[in-house]
């Protein structure tokens, strides 16, 4: 289930993202789809493809209604099509993607 609270523990590839803050002013406003993730970077493909260091940026991810449908159905609510936006400090994402998505109890991402 992909929610604002669990986003840092999920796969980020395929999500729409925008850099809202960064210590590197040339990265602010970069937006597109996450096409690759490493321990320290997200590769964002939009008007151009940019490799964004996670540690120096704040990201705004778009969770569309389709990705949240299963969560909405399980609670008995009607599916929503309106996007939800989640802001995440890049520092919270610095980890090997496989390790970051495995985290369970005791994790800072719960």
Per-residue model confidence (pLDDT) at position 53: 98
Per-residue model confidence (pLDDT) at position 2: 74
Global pTM reads 0.77
44-63 pLDDT tens trace: 999 999 999 999 999 999 98
CA–CA separation, 42 and 95 (whole Å): 11
CA–CA separation, 1 and 71 (whole Å): 6
User: Which residues of the chain fall short of a pLDDT of 50?
Assistant: 67-74, 105-110
Per-residue model confidence (pLDDT) at position 109: 43
Distance (Å) of CA 34 to CA 39, 71, 96, 106: 14, 22, 15, 27
Per-residue model confidence (pLDDT) at position 46: 95
Per-residue model confidence (pLDDT) at position 65: 55
């Amino acid at each position: 289930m992909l929610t604002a609270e669990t986003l840092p523990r999920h796969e980020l590839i395929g999500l729409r993202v925008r850099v809202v803050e960064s210590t590197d002013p040339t990265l602010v406003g970069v937006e597109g789809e996450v096409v690759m993730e490493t321990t320290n970077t997200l590769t964002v493909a939009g008007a151009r493809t940019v490799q964004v260091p996670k540690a120096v940026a704040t990201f705004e991810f778009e969770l569309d209604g389709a990705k949240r449908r299963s969560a909405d159905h399980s609670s008995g609510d009607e599916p929503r099509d309106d996007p939800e936006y989640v802001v995440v400090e890049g520092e919270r994402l610095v980890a090997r993607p496989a390790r970051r998505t495995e985290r369970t109890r005791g994790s800072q991402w719960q």
